[in-house]
Structure formats: C-alpha cells, structure tokens
Chains A and B, each alone.
Chain A
Amino acid sequence: MAQIVIMGAGVAGHTTATFLKKWLGSKHEVVVVTPNSHWNWIPSNIWVGVGRMTKEQVVFPLAPIYTKAGIDFRQAKALSIHPEGDRESEKPYINILYTGQNKENQEEKLHYDYLVNATGPKLQFGATEGLGIDNQLGEHTVSVCTADHALHANVKMQKMFEKARAGEKQKVIIGTSHGTCTCQGAAFEYILNVEHEANRAGVRDNIEFKWISNEPELGDFGMGGMHLGNMGYVMGAKLLGESLFAERGIQWILNAHVSNVESKKLQYEQVDGNMGEEEFDFAMLIPAFRGVGLQAYDKNENDITDKLFMPNGFMRVDGDYTQKPYAEWKASDWPSTYQSPLYKNIFAAGIAFAPPHPISEPQQSPNGTVITPAPPRTGMPAGTIGKAVASSIKNMILEGDKAKLHAISMAEMGAICVASAGVGFKEGQAISFTVYPIVKDFEKYPGTGRDTSRTYGEIGVSGHWIKLALHYLFIYKAKLKFGWTLIPE
C-alpha cells in the first residue's frame, strides 16, 4: 500500500487528492494536510468583498467530504520535508503542526511514499511597509485574498459608502502593492465591482476611483498582455483595459511599486524613477506572493531547503531555471511534469511550483527596484496541473519503474478566465476571455506569442451568468457530488 501525502487543499491539492483517491481506491492511502478546515472558492471572494455573497456561499467544510471519499484529512500545517528520512529511518516524511481537530499545536511525523506540494502562496503583506506584518493584513488597507479578508473589506466599503452618501468626497485606490505582485486580475475585478456597487448605491459621484499596479500597461495581467480576437478584429488587451476604465471614469497609475502605506496615504516608485504619493479613504492592494516557507532536510538533518526550493520559496520542478535575458526566454523553459528533479516522488502543483521566469518583460527602476508582474497561475492551470500530477503518481504506483509521467506545460495550456465587472442578473457584467497558450510561445506564434483565433475576449451580462454558473459548478465538483469527474478543471 502506497501512502500519498498532499500538502494543501486549494484548487490544485483538492483536485490531486480527489482524483488519486478515485483512481486508486482503498488499496492506497491518500492523506491531505492543510491548515484550513474549509474549502474556499476564491474567485467568488470578490463578491463577498462587495456584500453580494455571504462567506457561507463561498466556503464549505472539508472533513465530511474527505470522510465520504475515504481521504485521511489532517487539519495541520506542513512545516518541513525530509525526503531521505532521518538518522533513524530512511522512510521519507514531513513534519506537521495541527491547527484543528482538537490537536492544536501538536507536531507529528507523517511518512509518505509520494508527496505533492500544493500549498499555494503565502500572502506576504509584510513585504510592503505598512501593508501588514508577515502574512497578516495591516489596518490601513483591505484584501479579498481570503473569505474573511473579503468580509472585512465589505464592512469597510459600506462605511466608505455611508460617508459618500453623507456628501463627503471619498477616494478609492485598488490594485497591487509590491513591484513583483501577481493576481492583477483579482484587483481588476474588485475595482470594477466596487465601482458598480457605488453606482447601485447612488454614491458614485462622490467617489474618485484610481487603479495602481506594477503592470507595464493595462491589460498586462502578468501575462505580458494579450491580443484578443473579436468580431474579425485583433485588439490589444491594453485598449480593452483602458476603455473599460475610461468608460467608468477610473484613472490609473502603472509601472508602480508601492513602497509604503500609512493611514490614508501610500507612496510609490515607478519604473522611470518617479516617486509619487496618493491619498485614499479606502484601498485594496494585493500583497506580494511567495512560497509558504517549507523547510527541507537531508537524512543527516542538513538544511537542503535551497535545493528543493527557489529563493522565493516556490518549489523547483522540471523547468529550466537558468538565469537568462528576456530575449532568450523560451516556452520550453516552463515545466511540464512538475516533478522535483532531486526526488522523483515529490511533485508541486498550482501556485506552489516555481515558474522559471515571469511572462511579462522584466523592468527595474533607476534605484534597482524590480517592477515586473509575476506570472499568474489561475484556477484552470492549477486544476489541470493537479490532475496531471495525480495521473503521474497513479502511473508510478501501478506501473513502477516503466511508468510514464503526464506532462502539460503552461506554454501548451489554454485558460478560460471570466473577470467580473459587477453583479446582477440583468445589470451585471463580466469580461470573458479565452487565452491560448497561457505562456507566450513566439516560435510557434510569431508576432503575439499566442494563437489569436483562440485568444478572445468580450464583455456583457452573459459573462456574469457564466461566472455565476462556474461558482456553483466548481463548488458542486469540489463537494464530489454525482458526476463530479465529468466537470473539467
């Protein structure tokens, strides 16, 4: 009997665990280690953050689902990986620290035959002065990265609306904080949703909206921008992004690294060296992401963290991590099996794997501050990679040495993204995109790096219906209800 341990129960980890259990049945053991007791459909946190959904609508408890599926659930945080075991035994294990199940603060050794790191990002508020401490959000701004953050964001937003209703002019700033942030899409959705709600509440005229981000141009989204085919035209996402903002009277600051946040004020530095300051009454800034800080040790208890992980804490897999200039970046640099080159029984899925480099062109200010969006790893790639990793582990268990791995790189993978621009069955809107491939491949698609017949975008209320349908569909799938395997990642 093989024991497979999956660290993390987000999109990637939950996908890997549930497929492995389905394919391997009771002959092998699947263990999920995750500090959260509930699963969260993170994309809908945007709607919690504007009061259009409750927290209960976007989360559900994991324990009953895992019990029903026969998955061993440990509500705990993984601390360290020991891929060679230790001086007492050669059997690999991880150390975990319980966060629930009435075992809070107890440490335990958990042996594995196969290990999947799907621990997602650490929300590094502490990387920006005044934004927070370590992974804790500070008091000056709000966040929508977790369901609880989103609840708090809505409370603050409603207070700001009350002031606007009373005739006080308000200023909103939404975007990214650190120069190396990713997840611009979430901030983009949030600014459009807050603006939409301000209109509904009849307070829009008293609120000024501003976007701030590390993107070189609007519509970059950490993907080096996009060229979208639509109605026989091919249009840069820059034009789409700017037009959507112009239509809503939202101005923007780009190429920016927020260096400091204080009460109602932030300072930033731009790629051209300009230093600026903005005042605000309400701000939501996405924090920098890094790996969750897992440590690794060899059998003699020597620290091998830097061998398993990149300096940003994300796990090294089968990508080409050689430092090279932008002109030499290739689609083939991107990993495809997500297997650790050092330990063949360790994989990373979703945000936890280290990308070889950004997708957007790197930039630095004259002071040397890096202002380059990190590449996004959204829900669809996280799920697709999670399933491919599950297939590889299944093959390794069932076929032994001759097993083949499942491979799909983000340069061969397409994604469907629906960015909400406001809630409402009739008055809601969203921008629906398809992108192929996610990572630009200039050898295959000279000019734009992508297939423009498959990279497409449009805005309308139908996008909102799709986003709402996806909310219910993915929660249904994650709850492993009848036919869940038929719903694609």
Chain B
Amino acid sequence: MIKEELNFEIPQFKGTMVPGKFQRSMRHCILLQLIRMSFFGLRSIGIIILNIKNEHEK
C-alpha cells in the first residue's frame, strides 16, 4: 500500500505519519542503507560496551 492509497478516514489511521513514495524508496536505497547500517552498527557496539562496563562485581 502506498500513501496515495491510504484511507486516513479510518479513525485509527488519522494520527499516523506515513511515508510518501520518495521516503519509501529511501528505505530500499542500497547506498543510503549501507550508511544507515554502519551507524546502527556503531550504536550497537556502544550498547555492547555499556553492557560490559555496567557488569560489576558484587
């Protein structure tokens, strides 16, 4: 389903934020997604380091 086909009259859908064609294509743009993946990788490493740091002796 794309934005243009959406029925915002369905009450549950009224307050939502739905991407248009361009935004949707960005989700599948290989180059952009490779960059996003690298950033997510860095964020994940941050979480792993935090978990190691927060483990303490008791």
Residues of A within 8 A of B (CB): 204, 239, 242-243, 245-249, 251-252, 336-337, 384, 388, 391, 404-408, 412-416, 426-427, 429, 432, 434, 436, 454, 456, 458-463, 465-466, 488-489
Contact = CB atoms under 8 A, between A and B. Distances in A.
A462 B33 contact: yes
Contact of A462 (B3, B16, B37, B58): B37
B19 A247 contact: yes
Contacts, number: 109
B10 A251 contact: yes
A247 B57 CA distance: 47
B33 A460 contact: yes
17 contacts: A243-B17, A243-B18, A245-B12, A251-B10, A404-B58, A414-B50, A427-B28, A434-B40, A434-B46, A434-B47, A436-B50, A454-B50, A460-B28, A461-B33, A462-B37, A465-B33, A489-B51
A242 B6 contact: no
A174 to B, nearest CB: 16
A462 B55 contact: no
B34 A462 contact: yes
A246 B40 contact: no
B28 to A, nearest CB: 5
A209 to B, nearest CB: 11
B33 A408 contact: no
Closest 8 pairs (CB-CB, A-B):
A462-B37, A404-B57, A414-B47, A462-B33, A246-B16, A246-B13, A407-B58, A408-B55
B51 A384 contact: yes
Contacts of B15: 239, 242
A391 B30 CA distance: 41
A426 B28 contact: yes
A459 B36 CA distance: 10
Given A456-B43, A462-B34, 11 more contacts: A246-B16, A251-B12, A406-B58, A407-B55, A408-B55, A414-B50, A414-B51, A415-B47, A416-B44, A429-B27, A454-B50
Contacts of B7: 249
Given A239-B17, A242-B12, A434-B47, A458 B28 contact: no
